[in-house]
C-alpha cells in the first residue's frame, strides 16, 4: 500500500510544480484531518490513562488525586492552542527562525547546567523556569531547533549532501555542541533521541551512507565505551538482562512494570483497576504509563494504542511524502521520527525489550511543557499539510 502511495506521490509532485509555485499560499484542502483526528484521539486517551496511572501517586505525594491531571490538562489546552497557531504560520517563517532558535537553545542549554539557574529534580538539573509553577526542559526546545536547522541545511545544500563538508560536517558540529551540553545534564535519553533523529534526517537528506555508516560505527563504539565507564547506564544493562537479580533496587521498576503488563492479560483488569499503580510502579504517570495501560486495558487495549501510534506515524510520513518542498518534508520527517523513536523506545523499555533509559511516551507521560511542545510540533506538521497535494 505504501508502495502505491509513493507512486501516486510522485505524480502529485510533478503536478504541484506546475500548479502551485508559492510556498506561502495555502492549499485549498486545509490541514490534514486524519492526522489531526489521530492526534486528538491519542491525546485524549493519553490524558485519561495518565490520570488513571498517576492519581495514587498524586494523592500520596501532593495529597491531591487530580494534581497531575489538572496540570497536564492545562498544558494540553495550551498545546492545542499552540498547535492551531503553529499550523497557521507559513513554513518560510520557521525556516527563518531556524538558526536564531538554535542559538537561543544553546544559550539555554548552557544556562541550565549553571547551578542556581537550572532547576534540579530527581537528581538531574534539566529544567529552566520557575520552580513548581512553570518549568521546561531546554532540550525540548533544542530538539525542535535542531530539526529546523537540519531541514534548512538539507534544503539549502541538497545537491552537495554527498560530500563530507556539506553532508556531514555541519550536522556533526550541531550535534556535538548540543548533545555535549545535554550530556552535561546527564540527560542520556534526550541525547540518544537527538542522535537517532539527526541520523534519520541525514539519511533522508541524502548524506553519503558510506561516510555515515563509518561515523555511525565510531559513534556506536563510543556509546558502548561510555556505557561501560558510566555505571549509571551499564547497571541498567545488567538489570535489563536479569531484572530479578536485584529486585530491591534497579530491577524494581522493571519487575513491577512486568507484573503490571503480565497481570493485564488479554483483556486487562479494566479502566482504573490497576493495582500496580498503588505505589509499586513509582513512575506510573511518567515513563511507565504504558505498563498501566497494559494492566488496565490488556493486550487488546495496548495493541490498539500501538496501532494508533502506527497510524499517526504513517499519516505523518504521508504528509512528508506530499510536502511541497524539501525543508517542509525534512521538518515533518524530523518531528514524526521524534514521535516514532520515542514511542518505540518507551514501549521497548517498559516491556523490557531494551534496557531502561528514561524515555517518556508521547501524549501519555506526565510532563506539561513537553506536551505543549509536542502539540506545537504537531501544529507545524499540520502547517506543512496545508501545502500538500491531495490526490484525486
- Binding of another protein by 313 (CB under 8 A): yes
Among 265, 271, 390, 391, binds another protein (CB under 8 A): 265
C-alpha 118/C-alpha 147 separation (Å) is: 24
Closest CA to 43 of 298, 291, 372, 384: 372
Strand partners, 135: 129
C-alpha 225/C-alpha 212 separation (Å) is: 20
Supply the Cα-derived Rg of the chain in whole angstroms.
21
In the complex with another protein, the residue whose CB is nearer, 180 or 282, is 282
- Binding of another protein by 203 (CB under 8 A): yes
Whether 372 contacts 75, CB under 8 Å = yes
Nearest approach, Cβ of 197 to another protein (angstroms)?
11
> Of all residues in the chain, what percent are helix, strand and coil, respectively (each to 5)?
70, 5, 25
Residue 210, class by beta-carbon neighbours within 10 Å (0-12 exposed, 13-18 middle, 19+ buried)?
A: exposed
DSSP state at residue 158 = G
Among 340, 373, 381, 384, binds another protein (CB under 8 A): 340
Nearest approach, Cβ of 278 to another protein (angstroms)?
3
Whether 52 contacts 292, CB under 8 Å = yes
Question: Which stretch, 8-16, 104-112, 171-179, 232-240, contacts another protein (CB under 8 A)?
Answer: 8-16
- Binding of another protein by 314 (CB under 8 A): yes
- Binding of another protein by 235 (CB under 8 A): no
- Binding of another protein by 56 (CB under 8 A): yes
- Binding of another protein by 47 (CB under 8 A): no
Among 19, 249, 266, 392, binds another protein (CB under 8 A): 266
Nearest approach, Cβ of 265 to another protein (angstroms)?
5
Q: Is 298 left (phi over 0), alpha (psi -120 to 50) or beta?
A: left
Residue 30, CA distances (Å) to 5, 34, 35, 84, 169 in order: 20, 12, 12, 12, 38
Question: How many residues sit close enough to another protein to count as binding (CB under 8 A)?
Answer: 59
What residues numbered 141-170 form the site for another protein, per CB under 8 A?
158-159
Nearest approach, Cβ of 253 to another protein (angstroms)?
12
Among 241, 278, 390, 391, binds another protein (CB under 8 A): 278
Q: What is the DSSP string of 38-88?
A: HHHHHHHHHHHHHHHHHHHHHHHHHS-TTHHHHHHHHHHHHHHHHHHHHHH
- Binding of another protein by 299 (CB under 8 A): yes
Who's near 112: CB < 8 A, 6+ residues apart?
A: 118, 125, 126, 127, 128, 138, 185
Among 36, 320, 335, 370, binds another protein (CB under 8 A): 320
- Binding of another protein by 49 (CB under 8 A): no
In the complex with another protein, the residue whose CB is nearer, 25 or 230, is 25
Nearest approach, Cβ of 60 to another protein (angstroms)?
8
- Binding of another protein by 263 (CB under 8 A): yes
In the complex with another protein, the residue whose CB is nearer, 176 or 209, is 209
Q: Is 63 left (phi over 0), alpha (psi -120 to 50) or beta?
A: left
Whether 363 contacts 374, CB under 8 Å = yes
Name the site residues for another protein (rule: CB under 8 A).
Answer: 2-3, 6, 9-10, 13, 16-17, 56, 60, 158-159, 200, 203-206, 256, 258-266, 273, 275-276, 278-280, 294, 298-299, 302-303, 306, 310, 313-314, 317, 320-321, 323-326, 329, 333, 337, 340, 344, 347-348, 351-353
Amino acid at each position: 500500500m505504501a508502495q502505491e502511495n509513493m507512486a501516486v506521490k510522485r505524480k502529485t509532485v510533478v503536478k504541484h510544480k506546475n500548479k502551485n509555485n508559492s510556498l506561502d499560499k495555502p492549499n485549498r484542502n486545509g490541514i490534514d484531518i486524519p492526522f489531526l483526528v489521530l492526534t486528538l484521539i491519542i491525546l485524549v486517551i493519553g490524558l485519561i490513562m495518565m490520570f488513571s496511572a498517576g492519581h495514587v501517586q498524586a494523592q500520596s505525594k501532593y495529597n491531591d488525586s487530580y494534581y497531575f491531571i489538572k496540570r497536564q490538562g492545562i498544558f494540553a489546552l495550551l498545546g492545542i492552542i499552540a498547535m492551531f497557531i503553529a499550523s497557521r504560520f507559513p513554513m518560510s517563517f520557521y525556516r527563518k527562525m531556524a538558526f536564531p532558535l538554535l542559538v537561543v537553545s544553546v544559550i539555554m542549554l548552557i544556562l541550565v547546567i549553571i547551578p542556581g539557574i537550572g532547576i534540579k529534580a530527581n537528581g538531574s538539573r534539566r529544567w529552566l523556569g520557575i520552580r513548581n509553577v512553570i518549568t521546561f526542559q531546554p532540550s525540548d526546545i533544542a530538539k525542535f531547533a535542531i530539526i529546523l536547522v537540519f531541514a534548512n541545511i538539507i534544503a539549502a545544500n541538497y545537491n552537495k549532501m554527498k560530500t563530507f563538508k556539506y553532508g556531514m560536517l555541519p550536522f556533526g558540529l550541531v550535534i556535538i555542541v548540543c548533545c555535549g551540553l545535554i550530556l552535561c545534564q546527564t540527560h542520556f535519553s534526550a541525547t540518544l533521541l537527538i542522535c537517532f533523529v539527526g541520523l534519520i534526517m541525514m539519511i533522508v537528506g541524502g548524506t553519503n551512507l558510506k561516510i555515515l555508516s563509518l561515523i555511525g560505527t565510531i559513534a556506536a563504539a563510543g556509546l558502548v565505551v561510555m556505557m561501560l565507564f558510566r555505571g549509571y547506564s551499564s547497571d541498567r544493562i545488567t538489570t535489563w538482562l536479569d531484572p530479578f537479580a536485584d529486585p530491591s533496587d534497579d530491577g524494581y521498576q522493571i519487575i513491577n512494570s512486568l507484573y503490571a503488563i503480565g497481570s493485564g492479560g488479554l483483556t486487562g483488569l479494566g479502566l482504573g483497576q490497576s493495582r500496580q499503580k498503588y505505589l509499586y510502579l513509582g513512575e506510573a504517570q511518567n515513563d511507565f504509563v504504558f505498563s498501566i495501560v497494559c494492566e488496565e486495558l490488556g493486550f487488546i487495549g495496548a495493541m490498539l494504542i500501538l496501532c494508533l501510534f502506527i497510524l499517526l506515524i504513517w499519516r505523518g510520513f504521508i504528509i512528508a511524502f506530499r510536502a511541497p518542498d524539501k525543508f517542509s518534508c525534512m521538518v515533518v520527517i524530523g518531528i514524526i521520527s521524534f514521535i516514532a523513536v520515542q514511542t518505540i523506545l518507551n514501549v521497548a523499555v517498559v516491556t523490557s525489550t531494551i534496557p531502561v533509559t528514561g524515555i517518556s511516551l508521547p501524549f501519555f507521560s506526565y510532563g506539561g511543557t513537553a506536551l505543549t511542545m509536542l502539540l506545537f510540533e504537531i501544529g507545524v506538521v499540520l502547517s506543512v499539510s496545508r501545502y500538500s497535494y491531495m490526490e484525486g
